[in-house]
Amino acid sequence: MAMALSRLSPFTSPLALASRSFSTSRTDQKNMVLVDGVRTPFLMSGTDYKNLMPHDLQRYALTGLVNKTGIDKSIVDYICMGTVIQEVKTSNIAREAALGAGFSDRIPAHTVTMACISANQAITTCLGMMAMGVYDVCIAGGVEFMSDVPIRHSRKMRQLMLSANKAKTAGAKLGLLAKLRPDYLAPELPAIAEFSTNETMGHSADRLAASFGVSRLEQDDFARRSHIMAKEAQEKGLLTDVIPVKVPKGRTLSIWIMVSEFPPSPDGQAEGRFIKPTAH
């Protein structure tokens, strides 16, 4: 996803100019304008996008935004993107995606993270900068890539490997090898739980639903309605913000794959595919 934002001076009438000296309100404050936005087709993880990297998807969105709007890249002052699971090789996805999309290396770009509203945080970051008069034209967006999440060695294994870099003699290296235990080889998967509380997103959702009295059936009905409306919008050609993506050595994706390959049931009823949440 990528959005172009601009700070524009509003039209000031002669009457307003004449009365400016008698008013304490600001009439020269510029408006924040959302110029346009695009997004790449949404896919299930481990499918067509699996050989890409997160910044590749963001680069596609940036390129699509430029092609759609015809914006001059040189007038862009700032680029900000949001993401949750960081790719260790490209921790600043905004920077790598911008360079890949042909933006100047003189344009500052940085990445923010705030769980599921990371992209929203990127937008408000740009708006804050423009509101303060720092920048006039910004691009904000976000990306999430679950097809190749970073999986680390265990902490004990990492410590052993770091110690091996300092071992100079064969005896020292053999001594470290002797310390290796089978449990050292167990990988560390990225957690979907909050670090400080160890609460998962599902638990948070359950607590929120309970607080507002939203039943599981109501949640399922809302989800089904969302997919039905998305399918109808796609069939009517209303998803004009979805840009085509040509996957290297793969097919060209130009529709919302999630809707086309996994449509709602014909009778419009939610099927029994939902997992009952565990007690907590």
- List the alpha helices (DSSP H) in 148-215: 155-166, 170-178, 201-212
pLDDT of res. 43 = 83
pLDDT of res. 25 = 47
pLDDT of res. 165 = 86
SS3 (DSSP) at 145: coil
- Residues paired with 110 in a beta bridge: 80
The pLDDT tens digits of the residues spanning 26-67 come to 556 678 889 999 999 888 888 888 889 999 999 999 999 999
pLDDT of res. 280 = 39
186 to each of 117, 182, 256, how far by Cα in Å? 32, 8, 37
Helix pair 170-178, 155-166: axis angle to 10 deg: 170
pLDDT of res. 18 = 41
pLDDT of res. 255 = 64
User: What is the greatest pairwise CA distance in the chain?
Assistant: 88
Q: Which residues of the chain have pLDDT under 50?
A: 11-25, 260, 270, 272-280
